[in-house]
Amino acid sequence: MACRITELVLDCADPDKLADFWCGVLGYQVLDRDPDGIEIGRADQAPEDRITLVLNRVKEPKKQKLRMHVDVNSTDRDQAAELERLLALGAKRVDIGQGGVRWIVLADPEGNEFCLLRRRVTP
């Protein structure tokens, strides 16, 4: 037997703001909401098949670089065009000392790092 990732949890100050951002980035929808957070994912997948993102309300601000982050790939455009779309949604380019790499390091509106990779993937 083995485990399977079913949820990724991201602590944040404003779950509504991050839900809007990450739904725009990933094409997800809000699946569940309560006073402590919001769960987003693909509504067209069976619950047992999907991986969701839970945006969990916390009082403490982010203080340092995340030790785990999300990598994303575009499904319908090249990396440069997808970068423009993500920046328009509210992402910001960040330098965490990555140097000359083929991916682009970004941060969501609360400063959580993620990477935009080069290759295009199937939706």
The residue type found at 27 is G
Task: Note down the domain range covering 108.
Answer: 66-123
Same-domain check for residues 43 and 89: no
- The total domain count for the chain is 2
- Summarize pLDDT for 8-35 with one digit per residue, the tens: 999 999 999 999 999 999 999 999 999 9
Smallest Cα–Cα separation from 86: which of 21, 27, 12?
Answer: 21
Same-domain check for residues 123 and 70: yes
Q: Is the pTM of this model over 0.85?
A: yes
- Summarize pLDDT for 46-55 with one digit per residue, the tens: 999 999 999 9
Helix/strand/coil for 38: strand
| CATH classification of the domain holding 110 | 3.10.180.10
Same-domain check for residues 42 and 75: no
Smallest Cα–Cα separation from 61: which of 8, 12, 14, 15?
Answer: 12
